[in-house]
Each structure stands twice: as structure tokens, then as C-alpha cells.
Chain A
Amino acid sequence: MSFGEITLDLLQNFAQNGLIFLLTLLGAIPLGLIITFGSMSKFVPLKYLTKTFVWVIRGTPLVLQLFVVMYVPGLVFNTPMSSRITAVLIAFIINYAAYFSEIYRGGIESIPKGQYEAGQVLGMTKRQIFTRIVLFQVVKRIVPPMGNEIITLVKDTSLARVIAYSEIIMAAERYTSKGLIWPLFYTAVFFLVFVGVLTLLFGYIEKKLDYYKG
């Protein structure tokens, strides 16, 4: 097979990595916020339940979580996972939402109490204070750690192959088993280009939000 053909094959498989990446972000970014509210709740049982959940998710390998989501429904509840992509997305979204929730929490807790009090004495509601004053400042503060986590996600998408979901590394390994080793190393180029674009994007967002200090 020619270089061009292999490139095309790898690229088609890399589209699966891109799909996992995109759908995971779409699910995990809002779910993370819900988890944040749970872990910051004044209702103590909810708070500790959420914190335990975050501990379990962050405390076990994502690979293991993929296996659990893929096989436990079938083995234990006799309702096998309908498709591999569903299992991949459930595991990735939950896993990343747990990490995002902690980044959000750090961001929210870093906003000085005076910002809330200033809103309060001006007669704003709790919701207005959050959406009009706090949220934007949080977004600005969490862009660098979110960028970090999102770049990690790009590379983690390859873990989908452990439950036989075909993506770029799995495709490259098919060549390796036929005795062709270079496509496996060549996959690095795809990741580097993707992460490079994301790095530029995050740099741009940071610059855009830099119109004020504080």
C-alpha cells in the first residue's frame, strides 16, 4: 500500500477520534457544571454523594471505566450495551465531567466574596449574581486548565480501542500486525496537528478574554 492510501485510511479512522472528542466535550462541559453544583451544595448528603462519585471516577483508570460501561450492563443486568460508540461516549463523558467539575469548582471558589456581596447589596438575585457577575470571571480563569484537560482528551480518545472501537491507533496496529511498523509512529502527526490547532484556539480565546485584568 502506498503512503497516500495509508494516510487516507488513518485519516478516516482519526475522524472517529474527532467524533469521540467532540461529543465528549458537548456532554461533559454541561454535565460537569451540574456535578459542580452538587459538590458545592449546602445540602450535605448531596455534597458527599457527589464528592464520592468524583473520587470514584477520578480514582479509577478510564480504561477500566470503558470495560465497566461496555460489559457490566450485559453481564449483570442482562441488557447488553447497544453499541460500542454509546459505551465509549458514556464512559468518556462521565470521566471528563468529573475532572471538569473540579476545574469549575476551583474557578468558582476563586472569585472573591466581595463580588457576590457587591451584587447582593445592589439587590440582585442569586441567579443574576452567578450569571451576570461570577460566571464570566470564572470562564476567564478556567481557560488555561480547561485547555490542558481538553488536550488530554484528544489523546485519550485512543483508549476507545480497548473495547474494540476502531480509531486511528487501532487502524495503525492492523498494519503493524502485517509487519508494517511506520504507520503506528506516523499517527503522532495527526495528534500533533490536532493539538496544535487547539493550542492556537485556546491562545486566541485567552487573548480575547484579556481585555480586562482581575
Chain B
Amino acid sequence: MAESILKVDGIIKSFGSVQVLKNISFTLEKGQVLAIIGSSGSGKTTLLRCLNFLETPDGGTITVDGKLLIDGAEHKKMTDSEIRANRLHFGLVFQSFNLFPQYTAFHNITLAPTLALKDEIKSKGLKGKAAIDYKAERMSQIESDALALLERVGLSEKRDSYPCELSGGQCQRVAIARALAMTPDILCFDEPTSALDPELTGEVLNVIRGLKSKDTTMVVVTHEMEFARGVADKVIFMANGVIEEEGTAEELFLNPKSPNLRAFLNKAKNK
């Protein structure tokens, strides 16, 4: 069996005296889609934020492609630039999009790669004409990549629109393209459709479905049970900070074992 691309082992996280993640462990293979379901307050979002270095776990490890990225016990020793390098293994699409309002859709996508390019030129010590040539070559790559990404999320004609001129669904699709532009190993979604009107969720879920391929590994925290069932290779049900049940979509949705999951699925169905 192939080495897991993502290995999460024994993650613990507390906020004050409340332990929100109690020993979370799971693995994910390359190209798989993991759906994390569970009621509000079960720790799903905190887990995702730990993966993206937005929260620091108190204990446990996160390994990507055999490389240890986070060791909860040792975290304090990491420098800013180490954290930045490590977090780029992950991408994150937020519930509330968090697009940069002053930039166009296109510029939202190219901003981070452009800044990374500047750092790269500096760290390589390129100067003068060499730096200009390299920059020009890479910039045209960044721009054509951004156009390709806009096309992939079906928004080519919106490249010059500002976020305030886009619908919620379109904003979220730009946000997905923006995350993909940094070519993360694992793309995370934090309830990507929860802030959308019901009629707009479909277009976003379709884009996410369309991303599924042997190279794209995704972790999706979602309340959309039909979507989770249709797209996920693996499903985790969280309750009160623990993984209460995990398995394939079939196993969890057709044959839930724990009473909590059964109650949760019934509630979701009756919504």
C-alpha cells in the first residue's frame, strides 16, 4: 500500500479549560477526499485550523508525505519562515470566502504567488538582468496559471470583477482558485457552502466535485450530507472532540454504528 499523504496522530487542543480535540488520529491517501461531518462544536473546524497552522495543537503530530510538519509538543520552536513553508502543504477555503475586497478576482489569485516569487528571487540572490528575466518568465507563468484556474472554476469572464460584484457562489469559486494557485498537497474546505444561499451551493459543490482527481487530496468539513456521500472516499464523524466513527461513505451513511451518528444523520435528513 502507498504511503499515506496525510497522517494525523494524537492531536489534542484545548481552549482554556475546554478540550475541543481529544486525541484525533487518521490517515489519508493521495487523491482521496475526506469528508468530516458532525454537529456544531464537535471540533471539526478546529481540526482543520490545526492542519493549516491557524491553531497550534497542544499535542500530537501532523505528517505530510513522510515529512513531520507539526509536532504539538515542539511547536514553539518553529520559526515564522518554517511555519510559512510548512503550511503551504495545505490550502484552505474558508466558510466566509475571505477574498481581498480591493483586488479583482484575477489579482486575488495571483497575489500570493507573486509575493512568493519575490521572496524566491531574493533568497536565490538573483540580481539585475537575471532577476528581471526570471521574474518576467515566472510572472507570465503565474498569470497563465491564474487564467487556467479561473476557467476551471468557470469564471473566466469575471477576471476583472471585484469580490463585491460577484455572487457568494462566485466568490467562493474564486477563493477555491486562489487556494489552488499555491498548489497545496492537501486542499481543505471549511464548510464551503454554509454562508451561501441554498440555490448557490450547487455551483460550488460542483466545482469541488470537479477537482477530484488522483492528484488532488481534499479534506472537506461539510454539512451537505448528499455531497459528502457522493464525493468522499472516506468519512469521519466527529462528536465532542473525538472521532466517533470513520470509514467509507457507504459504511457511515448506510450502516451507521454509533447512536450519535444515527441521530445526527436522521436530523440532517429531516432538515
Contact = CB atoms under 8 A, between A and B. Distances in A.
Interface of A: 112, 114-115, 117-126, 128, 132-133, 136-137, 140, 211-214
B100 A211 contact: no
29 contacts: A114-B94, A114-B96, A117-B94, A121-B52, A121-B54, A121-B90, A122-B111, A122-B178, A122-B179, A122-B182, A123-B84, A123-B85, A123-B88, A123-B112, A123-B116, A124-B84, A124-B115, A128-B115, A132-B115, A133-B100, A136-B102, A137-B101, A137-B102, A211-B162, A212-B162, A212-B163, A212-B164, A213-B101, A214-B164
Among A123, A124, A140, A214, max chain B CB count under 10 A is at A123
A59 B92 CA distance: 46
Contacts of A119: 112
Given A126-B80, A128-B115, A211-B162, A120 B101 contact: no
Q: Helix, strand, loop or mixed for chain A's interface?
A: helix
A11 B212 CA distance: 72
Contact of B84 (A112, A125, A133, A211): A125
Contact of B163 (A132, A136, A214): A214
Contacts of A118: 94, 98-100
Nearest to B178: A122
A136 to B, nearest CB: 5
A117 B54 CA distance: 7
Contacts of B54: 117, 120-121
Q: Helix, strand, loop or mixed for chain B's interface?
A: mixed
A212 B104 CA distance: 9
B91 interface: yes
Contact of B87 (A114, A121, A126): A121
B227 interface: no
Interface in B108-161: 111-112, 115-116, 119
Interface in B64-113: 80, 84-85, 87-88, 90-92, 94, 96, 98-102, 111-112
Contact of B111 (A120, A132, A214): A132
Contacts of B53: 120-121
Contacts of B182: 122-123
A123 B82 CA distance: 10
Interface residues of B, number: 29
Contact of A125 (B80, B98, B100, B102): B80
Given A115-B100, A117-B94, A132-B111, 5 more contacts: A122-B179, A123-B84, A123-B116, A123-B182, A140-B102
Please name the 3 residue pairs, one residue from A and one from B, whose CB atoms are nearest each other, closest first. Answer: A214-B101, A122-B112, A114-B98
Contacts of A126: 80
Contacts of B111: 122, 132
Interface in B193-210: none
Contacts of A122: 111-112, 178-179, 182
Given A128-B115, A214-B163, A117 B98 contact: yes
Contacts of B100: 115, 118, 133
A213 B98 contact: no
A121 B189 CA distance: 12
Contacts of B84: 123-125
A132 B102 CA distance: 10
Nearest to B95: A114
Contacts of A137: 101-102
A118 B98 CA distance: 6
Contacts of A125: 80, 84, 119
Contacts of A117: 54, 94, 98
A123 B111 CA distance: 11
A132 to B, nearest CB: 7
Contacts of B98: 112, 114-115, 117-118
Nearest to A211: B162
B164 to A, nearest CB: 4
Nearest to A209: B102
B101 A124 contact: no
A128 to B, nearest CB: 5
A136 B107 CA distance: 15
A121 B91 contact: yes
Contacts of A120: 53-54, 87
B83 to A, nearest CB: 9
Nearest to A116: B98
Contacts of B52: 121
A126 B182 CA distance: 18
